[in-house]
Amino acid sequence: MIHAVTSANRHLYTRQLKAMHKMRYDFYVAQRGWSDGLTIEDECEYDEFDRPDTVYLMNLSRDGEIRSTFRLMPTIDYYLLDKLPQFVDGPVPRGKQIWDMTRWIIAPAFRKASGQTRIKTQGELTCGLFEFAATRGITHYTTLMDTAFLPAVEQAGWKYELLGLPVPYGDRGETAIAVIIDVGPKALAHNRMIYGVDYSILFESPPPRIGERIEDVLARLDVIETIEKISDREARMAAWSGLTTQFSAA
Amino acid sequence: MMHGLSQFISDCRTVSSGAELDDLFRNLYRTFGAETGALSCIGSPSKLLNFSKVVGSSNPEFVRTYIENNFILYDPAAKRSIKSLAPFSWDECRIEVGEDKRALNVLNVADEFGYKNGFVVPIHSGLGNFSVVTFTGSDLDLTPATRGSLHLIGIYYHLALERLMLIEAAQARPDLTPRQIEVLRWVSAGKTDWEIGRILSISEATVNRHVERAKERIGVRTRAQAIVECLVNGIVTL
């Protein structure tokens, strides 16, 4: 299930947020040697875009472990492309229906997972990403990514526009490119289809009752059970074919 | 972004013949001062793209020299393309090779044949094909804008070629149904599953099923894998 972690429910996810900042430290600071503009504390990485209006999408396992995460924020205020305008040829995109996407990471344990598990993990996060857009009326996400990632985005069938030319970043000759991706309702349908996710995958916790933990909220709302039921597609398909057999027998 | 480049990217999604694609490719890289554009495919697990092709005025004598002397073993540009997906120029290679005489020899011979400088774009596609697109020219002026533009030209040229070869392979396979071939043709024309469904009066899910079955038969990997593979290989969003 993909959890939308917002300022309203962030205190329910203290453990996961800490784990996410640690993963970011490992990936961006330890492996890639980034440090400019970053705050590093206790092997965790933070930057100026970890703000109250930031939303983290987290793909969590049933026991609350992170599989993968995204960071999202509105573009009506200062955001990454305002800080790095050299990646944008023309005006920096801005609007209520445009959000910016950064820090896309898969947890190391899931990088080693078998092909199918990995695809399911990523497919669910991608569908959650597009579903989140639907809940907020977001039509476009901007993102700044390694140019080497562009063929995969093109071949996944996403609709996008390039915002500028590739420009170098980092010290190994890598270049990044800014794109704006169409995430309207058609895009959600397309992604659900290519990843085979035909159910709602996004969960945004309502304000919790005093003293509740995320597990308590999920239990109170009966969310785990519902999700388990509907995500167990094989069982559902089996049940369905059993039903049709009965139907035709009658 | 430059109009010609935007137009090329859009044409790459719909172009239906290799010759037409090569013309578009050549006409565009020439505006950036490159004289040849070469795509060589080093690793391709799906066996769909196992070739080396040069667009523009390549020197057959240089190609012969390269092959006869097994330059591929020492070519610093080939080595570097395997290590990293970041684009680079031959000048940068020259600095890197230092005292390695065999590597320097490759660069010097290229230089003697008039290939003064080259710009190399390694590409790893979502479908699992790896290729290297190299642009050369006697006075290739690699400004940041030229580098960025050639990088994109290389990527979209590769993507269009891969798409055309996929269709060709699909059409040559007798075990594909006529419907699968028809659907793949529309895919190759850049239509979405939804649009194809409207054209053929079938549901989007049916279109998708035809595409997926055809891909299984041809032996290519799924579209979903495209993104995942890149992410686990550590390609980043900022």
CB of A183 within 8 A of CB of A133?
yes
Q: Do B147 and A166 touch (CB under 8 A)?
A: yes
Contacts of B126 in chain A (CB under 8 A): 151-156
For residue A44, the distance in angstroms to the closest alpha carbon of chain B comes to 16
Q: Compare CB distances from B232 to A111, A155, A190 and report the shortest one's residue.
A: A111
> Which of B126, B205, B224 lies closest to A151 in CB terms?
B126
3-state secondary structure of B85: coil
d(CA A58, CA A125): 8
Q: What is the pLDDT of residue A54?
A: 97
Give the integer Cα–Cα distance in Å for A196 and A233.
10
Which residues of chain B does A174 touch, with a Cβ-Cβ cutoff of 8 Å? 84-86
pLDDT classification of A43: cutoffs 50, 70, 90: very high
Domain positions in chain A are: 2-207
Mean pLDDT of chain A: 84
**d(C-alpha A28, C-alpha A20), whole Å:** 12
Neighbours of A216 (CB within 10 A): 13
Average pLDDT over residues A213-222: 82
HSE, side-chain direction, 13 A CA sphere, residue A208: 22
Q: What is the DSSP string of B19-60?
A: HHHHHHHHHHHHTTT-SEEEEEEEE-TTSS---EEEEE---H
Q: Which among A128, A193, A130 has a CA at the least distance from the CA of B224?
A: A193
Q: B-chain residues within 8 Å CB-CB of A195?
A: 224
Q: Virtual CA dihedral for B101, B104, B109, B110, nearest 10 degrees?
A: 160
pLDDT at B52: 62
CATH of the domain spanning A2-207, picked from 3.40.630.30, 3.30.70.890, 3.40.50.1820, 3.40.190.10 = 3.40.630.30
8 A C-beta contact, residue A154 and residue A120? no
Nearest by CB: A173 against B84, B204, B235: B84
b/e string for A130-164 if b means 16 or more Cβ within 10 A? bbbbbeeebbbbbbbbbbbbbbbbbbbbbebebbb
pLDDT of residue B221: 52
- B-chain residues within 8 Å CB-CB of A150? 155
CB contact under 8 A, B126 and A152: yes
Q: What is the mean pLDDT of residues A187-202?
A: 83
Q: Which of B39, B202, B237 to mutate to test the interface with A (most CBs of A within 10 A)?
A: B237
Report which of residues A56 and B35 the model is more confident about. Answer: A56
3-class DSSP assignment, residue B134: strand
Domains and CATH numbers, chain B: 3-163 (3.30.450.80), 173-232 (1.10.10.10)
- How far is B127 from B130, CA to CA, in rounded Å? 9
Closest approach of chain B CAs to the CA of A141, in angstroms?
Answer: 13
For the stretch A89-109, pLDDT in tens is 999 999 999 999 999 888 887
pLDDT above 50 for A249: no
> Across residues A152-174, what is the average pLDDT?
88
Q: Which residues contact B19 (CB under 8 A, 6 or more apart)?
A: none
Q: Which of A152, A189, A195 sits opposite B230 (nearest CB)?
A: A152
Q: How far apart are CA B45 and CA A184, in angstroms?
A: 35
Task: Name the residue in chain A with its Cα closest to that of B212.
Answer: A194
Sign of the Cα torsion A14, A80, A124, A201 reads: positive
- Burial of A99 (C-beta count, 10 Å sphere; 0-12/13-18/19+): buried
Contacts of A148 in chain B (CB under 8 A): 85-86, 123-124, 230, 235
ipTM for this model:
0.83
For residues A31 and A22, which has the higher predicted lDDT (pLDDT)? A22
Locate the DSSP E strands across chain B: 36-43, 52-56, 88-89, 117-124, 130-137
Q: Sign of the C-alpha dihedral, residues A219, A225, A230, A234?
A: positive
User: Measured at the alpha carbon of residue B50, what is the angle toward residues B48 and B52, in degrees to the nearest 5?
Assistant: 135
pLDDT tens by residue, chain B, 238 residues: 688 999 999 999 989 888 999 999 999 999 999 988 888 865 554 444 445 666 766 677 887 888 788 887 788 888 888 778 899 998 888 888 878 888 888 888 888 888 888 999 999 877 767 888 999 888 789 999 999 999 999 999 999 988 887 777 666 665 778 787 777 777 766 677 888 888 888 988 888 888 777 766 655 555 545 455 544 544 555 5
Contacts of B47 (CB under 8 A, 6+ apart): none
**Separation CA A111–CA A107 (nearest Å):** 7
